[in-house]
Structure 1
Amino acid sequence: MRKTKIVATMGPSCNSSETLSPLISEGVDVVRLNMSHSGYEDHKKNIATIRTVEKQLGRHVCILGDLKGPEIRTGLLREKEITLEAGHLVTLTPDEHIGDAHRIHITHPQLSEDIEMGQLVYMSDGAITLYVEDIQGHDVLCRVERGGKLGETKGLNFPGATLSLPFLMEKDYSDIKFLIEQNIDFIAASFVRTAEDLINIRKFMDDNGGEGIKVIAKIETQQAVDNLDDIVFHCDGIMVARGDLGVEIPIADVPLVQKMIIAKSNKRGIPVITATQMLDSMTYNAYPTRAEVTDVANAIIDGTDAIMLSGETAIGKYPLLTVQTMHQLAIKAETTGKLKLEMSQKETSISKATSAAGCLLASHLDAAAVITVTSTGATACRIARNRPQRPIIACSIDQKVVRQLLLVWGVHPFYIKLQEHTDQIHYESKNIALKAGFFKSGDIVVIVSGIPVGVAGSTNTIKVDRIE
């Protein structure tokens, strides 16, 4: 069974029950909604479609809402697409107007105050490079270093600059409220810079009824990389957002930074998603490049919990084939000996030590599975942190926790009804996993749980059972 989770972005190529259902059946665990695109009515329809497919297939599906975040974009153009020639001058201005190759509107009024002469400006994900030669009032005069074609409303990056943009824009506040109303499972916060950003979004979510929704911090700036140690302690998961990250930091640094982000997320015991261009060529081609399949495999070997598809499933010609390819690549990469149980770190908390000991015991006894009963999902995450080679069966009385655990490496979550006694809960958990085919009569299972049942952070018990 595949342990690495698959995140797929919803879009025109998979926004009906007929097109989404095969993707879920073939292995998609989490569906991503990109809040940068479409309106609330479209997102409502997409969420309803996900829940319909969920019921039809009889399996849980996790929903992740990805916020637009504080970004700067170009404005409208007279010819819809222009060509910026290397060596030519172009002015970036906050003045509202229809742009051309000489003067382009940008959406940040204070840009001239935030940057200095000599600043590099990247447009269209780094395809075009400008050099700031002069600042005149609100206007920024740039020399085109690397030219190319520029369309309307394209993103701009200013590597190394500290921009006076708020972490959450008005649209983000509105989107968060909408996503809370829709009862989704995760919210991904774009352009996180510091732990304070995460504290602020958490407070806003809690104040608006979103206490049960977990926060994913997207790492896509040098500032976020510098503050990663604090960030991982204030979020519920991490996304290696390589698109903007590859523009904000030197492109040669991306592979090593990715490995570092994954390692620190693993150590913290929170799920980490590796994203952007994983199978990008399959957006229009039926076969991936050798570089892409190696990229996917290396991310899995490094320890990523999940691998994400963006345009490949949202607008691609082959969404189903792409998911099938991702599934096959993950299965193969997981056979490597590098994905092994690591017990070298001394655990100092009862919950972490109990979870680690349960994994070690399962390995020594050649148990068929590690079973946990969890109220918040934390115990399952602690177990997954140790990367046991046995399936992790996580049972919870909370449907949202069940869906959220679909993002965690190696975890197979199930919903159970609340029972009065611990033995009843253990029996029900074993019975569900037995019916699902995770083990058979005579197999040994290790159960990691807490007493009293249902109290968060009380993981303190290990039980070994032989299935009758």
Structure 2
Amino acid sequence: MKTKIYGTIGPACCDTEMLVHLFEKGMTGIRINLSHADLEEADAWISGIHSAWSRLHDGTPEILIDLRGPELRIGTLGAERLLKEGDGLSLVADGQNNLFDPTEIPVPGTLLVALAPGQEILLDDGRIALKVEEQFRCGSSVAVECTVVRGGVLKSGKSIAAPGVEIQTPTLTERDYRNLARVKQCRITGVMLPFVRNQEDLKNLKEALINEDAGDIRIFAKIENLQGMEHLGELLPHCDEIVIARGDLGNAMPLAKLPCAQEEIAAQCRKHGRAFMVVTQMLASMEHRAVPTRAEVSDIFRAVQQGAASVMLTGETAVGEYPLEAMEVLVDTVREAEWYLEERR
């Protein structure tokens, strides 16, 4: 069976004509990231996806939604922030920040109470790193003073990771429940749950889908933390596909260990006959370059060699400067890998 190839919709590829070209290049499905918006706001995108697909194929396109789930993200900033190494800043509870104070960064309140001096905090898939200096409490309010260790440009809604810190959050947010209520009418074919920790997370999602008369929709369990890796065996019976989401998973461990983690997850999935997807930074350089690196195409080959049922582009198609070129490289490299591996059997 051919490897499925997904893109991610966003400003760079939401035009119907662009979607037609992506499907022509060989894209077989598309992801909608709901970390930053509701499904209701994506009506125009969904209409465009169906329109583009129908011009080339019969039936219904594969559309995955990526829920917010128990993940941690930066709240709303008044404008993007340039954080420089050595800068001091304050983490405050989301909604309590001054939108235009460049020294205040809004984060979930549940994170603030769990942070202690010396703790490392990784933002935007690890592109930015902070070190906690001190925690302050005033009644029920908590703020955390940090120093920027690795700088960069920070935008609203970017991911947060605090390696080694476990925070108890519900499987699904209120926004997730609102989005799940619309999956059937929007003809969504799969739901991706971030930061899956144990089988209870997947059971909770399945129950929510059944309650919306959508129990037949496929469940994709994203492995993005050590808890998910440790409980992988118990997750397999409760999902349709495992997602090796290397962005946040790479924040949960030294990067040198990430390829080993990918191999271990892939091996467990192969052993138990569970499909898996490889995603994150497969062609990251092509967000701003028309050609990939040699390491990137080798990474794609390795994913196919490991037996991935599907691969996915994220920022490359959503916000990149070369969405068509990136999709063409992904498709060509995957199909070449399939041909080569088949010939060697």
**TM-score normalised by length of structure 2:** 0.89
Q: Which amino acid aligns with 1:330?
A: V
| Aligned pairs (5 A) from 1:244-259 | 244-259=248-263
In 1, Cα distance between equivalents of 2:323 and 2:150: 33
- Alpha-carbon separation, structure 1, partners of 2:159 and 2:266: 26
Distance apart, 1:315 and its partner CA: 2.3
Partners of 2:288 and 2:112 lie apart in 1 by 39
Question: How far is 1:302 from its partner?
Answer: 1.1
The verdict on how the C-alpha distance between 1:27 and 1:79 changes in structure 2, with shifts beyond 3 A counting, is: closer
CA shift for structure 1 position 260 = 1.4
> Which residue matches 2:299?
295
Question: Contact 1:82/1:100 (CA < 8 Å) preserved in 2?
Answer: no
Change (3 A) 1:82 1:257: same
The one-letter code matched in structure 2 to 1:115 is L
> Which letter does structure 2 place at the counterpart of 1:140?
V
Contact 1:84 1:101 in 2 (8 A): no
Is the partner of 2:182 in helix, strand or coil?
Answer: helix
Match of 2:123 in 1: 123
CA 1:237 to 1:248, structure 2 compared with 1: closer, same or farther past 3 Å? same
Q: How does 1:162-177 map to 2 (within 5 A)?
A: 162-177=166-181
2:160 counterpart SS class: strand
Aligned partners of 1:79 and 1:63: how far apart in 2? 31
- The offset of 1:50, in angstroms, is 2.3
- The equivalences for 1:86-101 within 5 A come to 86=86, 88-94=87-93, 95-98=96-99, 100-101=101-102
In structure 2, C-alpha distance between the alignment counterparts of 1:323 and 1:84, rounded to whole Å: 34
1:11 and 1:104, CA in 2 relative to 1: closer, same or farther beyond 3 A? Answer: closer
Offset from partner CA, 1:102-126 (integer Å, 9 cap, x none): 44332x2233332333321112221
Residue ranges of structure 2 left out of the alignment (5+ in a row): none
* Corresponding position of 1:16: 15
Inter-CA distance 271–78: structure 2 relative to 1 (3 Å threshold): closer
Contact residue 186 and residue 214 of structure 1 kept, 8 A: yes
Letter in 2 for 1:63: I
Instruction: Write out per-residue CA displacement over residues 68-89 of structure 1, whole angstroms, 9 at most, x where no aligned residue.
Output: 2233333455664233432x44
Deviation for aligned residue 1:209: 0.8
Q: Does 1:183 align with 2:187?
A: yes
Q: Report the equivalent of 1:227.
A: 231
2:267 alignment counterpart = 263
Q: Tell me the distance in 2 between the aligned counterparts of 1:31 and 1:276.
A: 14
Cα offsets for 1:287-324 (capped at 9, x unmatched): 11111111101111111111111122222233222222
In structure 2, the partner of 1:83 is 83
Relative to structure 1, is the Cα distance of residues 163 and 50 closer, same or farther in structure 2, using a 3 angstrom cutoff?
same
Alignment partner of 1:215 is 2:216? no
For these two proteins, the number of residue pairs brought into alignment is 338
* 2:35 and 2:157 in contact (8 A); partners too: no
Q: Which amino acid aligns with 2:326?
A: T
Matched letter for residue 315 of structure 2? G
Shifted more, 74-83 versus 225-234: the winner is: 74-83
2:315 corresponds in structure 1 to 311
Paired residues for 1:434-445 under 5 Å: none
Counterpart of 2:243?
239
Following superposition of structure 1 onto structure 2, how do residues 368-383 of structure 1 map, counting pairs within 5 Å? none
**1:81 touches 1:152 (CA, 8 Å); kept in 2?**
no
- Opposite residue 122 of structure 1, the aligned amino acid is L
**Distance change (3 Å), C-alpha of 1:208 and 1:141:** same
Match of 2:71 in 1: 71
| Aligned CA distance change for structure 1 residues 160 and 24 (closer, same or farther; 3 Å) | same
| Higher relative contact order structure (alpha carbons within 8 Å, sequence separation ≥ 6) | 2
Task: Mark the runs of 5 or more structure 1 residues left unpaired by the alignment.
Answer: 342-468
The alignment-based identity, stated in percent, is: 35
Which stretch shifts more, 112-121 or 278-287? 112-121
TM-score (normalizing by structure 1): 0.67
Asked whether the equivalents of residues 303 and 339 of structure 1 are also in contact (C-alpha less than 8 Å), the reply is no
Q: 1:150 to 1:321 in 2, by over 3 A?
A: closer
